[in-house]
Amino acid sequence: MRLMTPEDFLPWVGKTVKVNTLPEAVELRLDRVETTPRLPGGLDFRQPFSLFFEAPMNVVLLDLAYEFDCGRGGPHSIFISQRPPLRDRRVYQAVFN
């Protein structure tokens, strides 16, 4: 299995992706992809990065792994965590390290 990279998600930025939840799927928008510095001495397997998703306030997700359907090459199982919400929307983060 190939590890995902930040470049794999760049085409998603600004787009809505479907998240398979029960009783029905919800949609999140990928707001941005942020990279972090690599570990010294080649101790990491890939460039560490985070994905930041936004959703309306009525989309409440637990800190869990969900299937994200980007329309190609998926679905991808991605673990997301809640971040402090903004005034008018929720924010979720996925960390890849």
Higher pLDDT: 66 or 75? It is 66
Q: What is the pLDDT of residues 43-62, one digit of tens each?
A: 767 889 999 999 999 999 99
Predicted local confidence at residue 72, as pLDDT: 64
Domain regions of the chain by residue span: 6-96
- Does this model's pTM top 0.85? yes
Sign for the pseudo-dihedral over CA of 28, 1, 71, 8: positive
Strand-pairing partners, residue 95, are 50
Phi, psi of 10 (to 5 degrees): -55, -40
